[in-house]
Chains A and B, each alone.
Chain A
Amino acid sequence: MRPNILVSVALLVAVVVFGYFLSPDLGSFGITLMSGLFQGMLLFLVASGLSIIFGLMDVLNFAQGAYFMVGAYVSYSVHHSPDVMAAIPDPNIRFFLSVISAVAVGAVLGGLLERFLLRPLYARPIFQIVLTFGVAIVMTEAVEFIWSTTPYSWTVLFSLRDQSFQLFGQSFGVYRLVVIGIGFALIILIGLLLQRTRIGIIIRAGVEDREMVEALGINVRMVFTLVFTIGCAVASFGGAIAAPFLGASAGLANLFLLSAIAVVVLGGMGSYAGTAMGSLLLGLALAVMQVFAGKPQIGLPVLASMTPMMLMILVLLVRPGGLFGKGR
């Protein structure tokens, strides 16, 4: 095995073993593990877009977290809207529909952002970063304008969200398992897309050397728009499937942006495998820290919310290129 894979697996095992020793019994260890994987999958949905977009076009999209937030709001309002409720009484089908509409909104907003706001600025990279930061502000403010500043929590449940099963004396929610399953499926699917398809090969080639791809007669601009659209759609999808648990609030944007940035730094900017590994690691580390910091002997719940930032600072100090990065 290559050293970076070895190191990542070792870290993963260390986190899991630490979590095991923190838990009083197998059941609560299972809960911690599942919560970690669940958070890791949500992180992956935001971080993958961030990483691929950065690798390909050198744009760090500070609005990626805002797309997650928009996804949560759209999915919430479609699911809870009285009109849609009247048209589609079955909550499971309605949830499916709300996720699809969130993805569509995310994709459209992402495509528009790249095509009309970022494209004029490729000659001025500093302003691109500043612009995405501005877009994040506008999206957060617009969401507060449309949906007010009060956070929403998911009230109309559906059978998938409600079901649970018993194991080791603890009840496990089916929905979390489904999200974890979808997350793993997406990791493999996007990986295959990048490895096996023509467009994926162009994207990977663009990450390596953009000019060379252009010299070969490929319209890289089109690929940029496509990748940006997909990246934002995936982030929005993450928000939509997280909403039944986390609800919809403006704070989601910053929370997930910062964690996703930590993931990308941890895994290595522009590396897909690194992003997947980093998401899993950070998700599990978060869940373990939540248990650890919540223990009465420790009594420092702040620690858990500071985990992504501390991890990121550590990685930048020790190995700035990240686990799978090429150095700088």
Chain B
Amino acid sequence: MLRRTLASNWFYVVLMIALIILPHAIGWVSGDSPFGVRGRPVGQSIYWQGILIEVFVLAVLAMSYNLVFGFTGVISFGHALFFGIGGYILGVVLEYTDLTGEVGLLIGIGLTLIISAVLGLVIGMVTLRLRGVYFAMFTLAVAEMFYIFFSRLALTRAEDGFALTELPVWIDPTRSRLTFYYIALALLAATFLFIRRLIFSPTGAVLLAVRENEERARTIGFDTLRFKLLAITLAGMIASLAGLVQVILNKKVGPEVLNVSNTIDPLLMTIIGGAGTFTGPVIGAAGLHLGDRLLRDLVIEVGGASIDIGANWALILGIVFILVVLVFPYGIVGTFRRWRTKQAK
């Protein structure tokens, strides 16, 4: 049993082990300690841990987006709402109530999950009965409304946001980043396993049926609205957890967590990686974020005109995105899989 599981999933197991060893490996190669120097976050290993945590956050966010878009076939343009609300709730609980330390953290996480689930349910109930495009419009509008609201709200210091100062030491990314790296990695692995388990379950089969042909699924006798609601709610909760990790990493909450770019990023990553696949969003997140980091300072000369890749990264991504939608609608993973089945025949 275990052997068969390992044999069919050797890729994920190897990847997981590699990611566990990586901070130590970088530390060994560069000579910088993976734990930082005397509690201060310096050195190559710490730097790469930070970048990888960002990748994990984006991957979790993209996977949750993929659960809605790729597996259930519902377009949401308001994923930033769930992402951002998680951070704000944790921030408000830690900084504006007497709850601090572990207790505050736990209550913050609990409240985040509850409130994002309620938000997902309410938004879904209002719009999912209507045609798909209403859901897209409605989520865009609600997310934008929250963004405007929080960027003017005096309680959360409007545009500036506020810093998280009352985190427990063991999770504080400036003092114990390696622990936090493993927490983020665990969240990534848990999300991946959860979504895979969900999709392979009978419920997941119905979700796929809704994506393929909602009318038919309803005719067979499934209450499709309920299944779509389930997908939205779960995706909202996962996205809010990603937002939480992001906020803890930056130790700051501001309206930028609610910005529409947090909707655009998972959308691009899901589609470029491969919508409706398990690994697609992860590959998309890793590829786009690492690409952004590595190419940030690159300037190429084309016919005398120099083009600053880093400054125009979003423009390049957008063009790539349009091309992918037109030419490779199954994304990297989906196209690769199709190509392999064709080769096998």
Contact = CB atoms under 8 A, between A and B. Distances in A.
B17 interface: no
Contacts of A302: 148-149, 152-153
A313 interface: yes
Contact of A137 (B145, B321, B326): B321
A135 interface: yes
B195 to A, nearest CB: 20
Interface in A297-319: 301-302, 305-306, 308-310, 312-313, 316-317
Given A126-B75, A145-B312, A131 B144 contact: no
B315 A138 contact: yes
A117 B152 contact: no
Contacts of A287: none
Nearest to A58: B133
A131 B326 contact: yes
Contacts of B129: 320, 328
A262 B141 contact: yes
Contacts of B136: 60, 129
A145 B134 CA distance: 32
Chain B interface SS verdict (over half) = helix
A309 B133 CA distance: 16
A316 B140 CA distance: 14
A320 B322 contact: no
A96 interface: no
Contact of B322 (A126, A138, A145, A254): A138
Contacts of B140: 258, 261
A284 B267 CA distance: 35
A32 B314 CA distance: 39
Nearest to A316: B126
A34 interface: no
A313 B329 contact: no
A75 B78 CA distance: 32
A214 interface: no
A128 to B, nearest CB: 9
A131 B322 contact: yes
A24 interface: no
Interface string A270-308: 000000000000000000000000000000011001101
A60 B138 CA distance: 13
Interface residues of B, number: 37
A301 B158 CA distance: 13
A304 B173 CA distance: 39
B131 A129 contact: no
Contacts of B334: none
Contact of B133 (A129, A145, A301, A305): A129
B77 A117 contact: no
Given A134-B321, A137-B321, A145-B315, A305 B130 contact: no
B271 interface: yes
B327 to A, nearest CB: 9
A117 B326 contact: yes
B127 interface: yes
Chain A interface SS verdict (over half) = helix
A141 interface: yes
A265 interface: yes
Given A309-B141, A309-B142, A121 B326 contact: yes
Interface string A31-70: 0000000000000000000000010000010100000000
A121 B329 CA distance: 10
Interface in B58-80: 73, 75, 77
Given A131-B322, A309-B141, A316 B329 contact: no
Given A60-B136, A138-B318, A138-B319, A320 B130 contact: yes
B149 A313 contact: no
A122 to B, nearest CB: 13
Contacts of B137: 60, 261, 265, 312
Contacts of B329: 124, 127
A312 B142 CA distance: 9
Contact of A130 (B142, B148, B271): B271
A320 B134 contact: yes
B132 interface: yes
Given A129-B75, A258-B140, A258-B141, A142 B133 contact: no
A312 B152 contact: no
Interface in A90-126: 117, 120-121, 124, 126
B152 A301 contact: yes
Contacts of B153: 302
A175 interface: no
Contact of B314 (A54, A120, A141, A317): A141
A275 to B, nearest CB: 15
A124 B328 CA distance: 13
A281 to B, nearest CB: 17
Given A130-B267, A320-B134, A306 B73 contact: no
7 contacts: A121-B325, A130-B271, A130-B325, A133-B264, A137-B318, A145-B315, A312-B137
Lowest 7 A-B CB distances belong to which pairs? A141-B315, A138-B318, A309-B145, A302-B152, A137-B318, A309-B141, A134-B321
Interface of A: 54, 60, 62, 117, 120-121, 124, 126-127, 129-131, 133-135, 137-138, 141-142, 144-145, 254, 258, 261-262, 265, 301-302, 305-306, 308-310, 312-313, 316-317, 320, 328
Interface of B: 73, 75, 77, 126-127, 129-134, 136-138, 140-142, 144-145, 148-149, 152-153, 260, 264, 267, 271, 312, 314-315, 318-319, 321-322, 325-326, 329
Given A60-B136, A134-B322, A138-B315, 4 more contacts: A124-B329, A138-B318, A261-B137, A313-B141
